[in-house]
Amino acid sequence: MAKRGKKYRKAIEGIDLTQPCTLAGSLEIVLKSKIGKFDESVDIAVRLGVDPRHADQMVRSTVVLPNGTGKSERVLVFAKGEKVQEALDAGADYAGSDEYVEKIKEGWLDFDKTVATPDMMGSVGKIGRVLGPRGMMPNAKLGTVTFDVGRVVNEIKAGKVDFKVDKSGIVHAIVGKVSFGMDKLQENIIAFIDKIIQLKPSSAKGVYLKGISISSTMGPGVKVDPVDLRTLVKQAA
């Protein structure tokens, strides 16, 4: 096990990290154990009772968090004609067609998310080897291949989060910043878990939400009681 720093050890003094807490209790620990001098992100990890090797048990989607992520996403839209202006009017940082494909081929990557109209995917496919491994490729399943570019850009800027279960059955996502405080973080986490529950594959048997933990960028992982979270989701519905 890696040796923890003095600040980390001091932050978790007297805290039992082996037992799950209510969401409120877990967030309280996360906020108190923040050790970075910057505004740390708050992340969630959800272990699901699915087998991602089976296509019908793949959990992948997007969710717009009610309070955003606290992160400013730079958005590039691949589009032509009037769709370019529609994207820019919605807040896209960059919008255009083949000129951006060529820039990316030359090594330009000053953006975080991409959106493309369907008629641009032939050109965008040429840079799939660049965008794909970085998780930046427009994807119809995530709603980022569409002619409705204005709506999608607005959603990304408002805090749209993409997520996908990994090979070990875990979903990771950012749910805000430490500076959000208890209430906003709780709202975001409930919205995220609500979406995860909605996506439960019909072929998944047994316990679906097997384990949940939240943490700040430099802080400890704190377990959350899945039963408590399910109750909060139902109350918020």
* Of 18-32, 96-110, 188-202, the least confident: 18-32
Residue 7 is predicted with a pLDDT of 62
Instruction: Report whether 225 contacts 19 (CB < 8 A).
Output: no
**Rounded CA separation 34/211 (Å):** 22
Q: pLDDT tens digits for 22-70?
A: 999 999 999 988 777 889 999 999 999 999 999 999 999 999 999 999 9
Beta strands in 65-169 (DSSP E): 75-78, 94-96, 113-116, 160-164
pLDDT at 19: 86
Higher pLDDT, 19 or 192: 192
Q: Which carries the bigger pLDDT value, residue 95 or residue 220?
A: 95
Q: What is the pLDDT of residue 10?
A: 63
What is the per-residue pLDDT across 70-96, written as a single tens digit (0 to 9) for each?
988 999 999 999 999 999 999 999 999
* pTM exceeds 0.95 for this model: no
CB 74 within 8 A of CB 93: yes
Is the pLDDT at 1 greater than 60, yes or no?
Answer: no
Domains present along the chain, CATH in parentheses:
6-69+160-236 (3.30.190.20), 75-157 (3.40.50.790)
User: Which pLDDT value is given to residue 88?
Assistant: 97
Which one, of 135, 142, 179, 212, lies nearest residue 34 by Cα? Answer: 179
Mean pLDDT computed over every residue of the chain: 91
